[in-house]
């Protein structure tokens, strides 16, 4: 099964602006992408980064092929699904994902296998139904289940905390520091981030 990892080159992860500069957001987003590509490679999946602009960072180009499509996420992904080839789509901001999670997603015999995000999004899906199309707006996991039902397609759900944990908000960075072991974890540590355990809930703080 072929695989695409959508990636926004310009101004990624805008909701991390309170704690990261624009340049830091780009670098951290790339580190998360590398973690996803590493997990896919170990799972035996050759991924292509579906990028909004050319990528010259060798952290990415040494790991995967890059295809440029500057259209919106939903449009770019649906263009690939329209080719009617079984396709795996994995989001680029899942730095906790492990090869076993990918393998579980692919092991499903369902026509459409999905991994929901904690906020109701769709963090990964394996599509074997050629008529299925995505819509990543709003609670896309529920929308995708309805779309599959409308087609009469079977659906499988992978309930994985690692696949569910996408990194969007500053408080999400604590999850990377607690559970991460790859490039994104190392990036945060090198940037001076550490856990803040002084409050009721574990958060993050930054040296300086």
Mean pLDDT of 194-201: 88
Domain assignment of residue 54, yes or no: yes
Is residue 32 within 8 A of residue 167, CB to CB? The reply is: yes
pTM of the model: 0.96
Residue 183 has pLDDT above 90, yes or no: yes
Cα 193 to the chain's mean position, in Å? Answer: 22
pLDDT digits (tens, 9 = 90+) for 71-95: 999 999 999 999 999 999 999 999 9
Q: Give the domain extent around 72.
A: 2-166
Domain assignment of residue 190, yes or no: no
Domain assignment of residue 198, yes or no: no
Cα 38 from Cα 30, distance rounded (Å): 12
Domain assignment of residue 125, yes or no: yes
Q: What is the CA radius of gyration of the chain?
A: 17
Mean pLDDT of 164-181: 97
Domain assignment of residue 69, yes or no: yes
Q: Report residue 41's pLDDT band, with 50, 70 and 90 as the boundaries.
A: very high
pLDDT digits (tens, 9 = 90+) for 86-132: 999 999 999 999 999 999 999 999 999 999 999 899 999 999 999 99
3-state DSSP helix/strand/coil percent for the chain, to nearest 5?
A: 40, 20, 40
Both tokens of 69, joined, read: 């499509």
Domain assignment of residue 148, yes or no: yes
Give pLDDT, residue 208: 66
Mean pLDDT of 4-18: 95
Is residue 3 within 8 A of residue 48, CB to CB? The reply is: yes
Domain count, the chain: 1
Which residue matches tokens 């574990």?
202
- The residues, any chain, with a CB within 8 Å of residue 65's CB and separated by 6 or more, are 46, 47, 48, 49
CATH number of the domain within which 146 lies: 3.90.550.10
Give pLDDT, residue 104: 95
Q: 3-state SS string over 108-176?
A: CCCCEEEEECCCCCEEEEEECCCCCCCCCCCCHHHHHHHHHHHHCCCEEECCCHHHHCCCCCHHHHHHH
């Amino acid at each position: 099964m072929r695989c695409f990892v959508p990636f926004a080159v310009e101004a990624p992860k805008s909701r991390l602006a309170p704690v990261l500069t624009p340049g830091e957001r780009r670098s951290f987003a790339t580190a998360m992408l590398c973690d996803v590509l590493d997990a896919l490679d170990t799972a035996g999946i050759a991924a292509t980064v579906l990028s909004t602009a050319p990528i010259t960072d060798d952290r990415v180009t040494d790991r995967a092929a890059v295809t440029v499509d500057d259209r919106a996420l939903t449009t770019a992904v649906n263009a690939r699904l329209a080719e009617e080839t079984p396709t795996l789509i994995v989001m680029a901001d899942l730095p906790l994902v492990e090869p076993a999670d990918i393998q579980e997603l692919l092991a499903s015999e369902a026509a459409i296998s999905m991994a929901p995000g904690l906020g109701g999004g769709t963090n990964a899906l394996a599509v074997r139904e050629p008529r299925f199309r995505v819509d990543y707006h709003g609670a896309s996991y529920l929308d995708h289940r309805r779309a599959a039902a409308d087609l009469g397609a079977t659906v499988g759900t992978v309930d994985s905390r690692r696949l569910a944990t996408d990194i969007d908000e500053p408080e999400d960075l604590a999850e990377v520091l607690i559970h991460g072991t790859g490039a994104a974890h190392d990036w945060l540590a090198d940037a001076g981030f550490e856990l803040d355990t002084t409050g009721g809930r574990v958060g993050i703080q930054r040296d300086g």
